[in-house]
Structures are given as structure tokens and as C-alpha cells.
Amino acid sequence: MLAERLAPFVLIAPTVLVLVALRLYPLLLGVNFSFTGDGERNGVPVGLDNYRELIGDPLFRTALGNVGLLVLLLPVAVAIPGLLATFIYLRVPGHRLYRSVYFFPAVLSPVIVGAIFNLLLSFDGPLNALLGRVGVGPVDWLGDPDIALFAVTGVHVWATFGMALVVFLAGFATLDSALLDAARVDGASLPRVIWHVIIPRLTRTIQFVFVTTMIGMLTSMFGLLYVMTSGGPEGSTYLPEYYIWIQQGQMSRPALASAASTLLFLIMIVVGLLQITLLQRTGKDD
């Protein structure tokens, strides 16, 4: 009996040890390092000085504001792969094309994706040439502070939605097709089927995609930012991860970068928990 009770703990012990050694321990070291100084004060405890400096830095405040914008754009980033997965599952016209090409962007390097879209979105590029043919003036996609972050975020969504679509398709595999058949017999339209049948049955899948997409948007856009805008114009596309790289890699301020990393980690936890709570309440209401 004792061996049977201990067996699960023995099986998960290697994974737990790896997570503790490679994840938890470095995380705790980083948090501890954020309370020390840089430069001449390297290794000297400075309390909350790094965090005060971050709050007083306009670039970091801009980065935090951009995080808020990304959170607002998150439903769109989740809806796109969700709708495409729905089209594939329901076999709407064109579903074979979606199934054959949806994962292609996910295998491209962010540097390659950024270079391609730098050409497409340049002021004299193909997209503006196409807009000019329909009578729309050229748009400075990557040079306008009010547009640049939206452009880079759109490219990121295009480049990464394939993984979320795979997760949605896995969720659809657990969906009872009888419910869809019943909805069709009752004459329900596609929007009603999605809202009243599919979404309530895929609540857990949607929660997972929301959280993973948010993590990706906050921690995996560095490559695109570096290649497409380098944080510009006027710092409008700064995100915490880009700010961290600047402080660590260019300014040689690892302690300040650790403080920014700690704040980003806390932001991700808070936003993730809020999303899960909201989605759970929505699922219960449905």
C-alpha cells in the first residue's frame, strides 16, 4: 500500500527536480538580484531603488501602456485561430486551403518574418502600392507612432496563430457532433452555433489559448520588434521584454533588467488569473 501511494510522487520527482533546478531557482535568483545595484553598486543591496527607477522611466511606462494595449487586442488574436478552426471543423468552403497552409508561418524564424514584412509594409512597398490603386493614400505602417505597434502585433498574430489553431482543433475533437447536428436541424445560423454551442463546450480550450497567447505576446515579440522597429518610432513599440534587453545588453544594467523581468512576471500572473476568472464566469453564465 505504501509503495502504491509513493509511486506517483516517484514518477513526477524527475520532472519536479528539473523544473526547480532550471526554472524556479533561476527565477528566485533573478528576483533577489533585482534588489541589488548596478555599476559601482554591483551586488550591494539597494532595496526598491530599481523599481522606483523603473516607475519613473518614461520608456518603461510606455512599455507598460503597450502591455495594456496588447491585452485589449488579445481577444482578436484568439478569435482569428478560433474562427479558422471552426471553419475547418465545419468544412465550410475553403477549409482545405486553411488546413494546408495554416501552420506554415509558425515554422518561420521571427527574423525572416520581420524582414519579409519590412518589405511589404515599407512606405513605398507593395501594400501601399495596392492601397494607392484603390484611392487610399500611403500609410507609414512602421514609422507612425500611432500605428507601428498595431502593425507589429498583426504580424506576430499572423506568424503564431498556427499553434493556437492546432489547440483549437484538438478541442474540437472532443466536441459532441450530435450537438451541432441538433443545432443545424433547428435552423441555427453559424454565428448562433458558434456562440451557443461551440464556445460553451470549448471553455477550457479557450482559457488555455488565451493564457498561452498572452504569454507569447508579452515574451515572444522581441525578434519582430528588433527587426521591424527597434523599439521605435519614438519608443512607441517598446514592450517590457525589449526594454529588458536594452538594459541588459546595451546599458549593462542587469539588476535593473532583473527588476523589469520581475514586474513582467507579476503582470503575466495577474493578467492570466484575471482572464481565467473572467472566462470561467462567462462559461458558468452560459
Dist. CA 115–CA 121, nearest whole Å: 10
Exposure string over 260-272, b if 16+ CB within 10 A, otherwise e: bbbbbbebbeebb
168 contacts 102 by C-beta, under 8 angstroms: no
User: Residue 129: pLDDT above 90?
Assistant: yes
Query: Of 195 and 248, which is predicted with more confidence?
Result: 248
Digit-coded pLDDT (tens) for 155-169: 999 998 888 999 998
Residues in CB range of 216: below 8 A, 6 or more apart: 156, 160
Digit-coded pLDDT (tens) for 30-43: 999 999 999 888 88
What percent of the chain is modeled with pLDDT above 90?
45
Dist. CA 55–CA 262, nearest whole Å: 13
Query: Of 188 and 221, which is predicted with more confidence?
Result: 221
The average pLDDT across 63-91 equals 90
| The predicted structure's pLDDT at residue 285 | 54
User: Residue 57: pLDDT above 80?
Assistant: yes
Digit-coded pLDDT (tens) for 153-205: 999 999 988 889 999 989 988 888 787 778 777 777 778 887 878 888 888 89
User: Residue 71: pLDDT above 70?
Assistant: yes
User: Residue 76: pLDDT above 60?
Assistant: yes
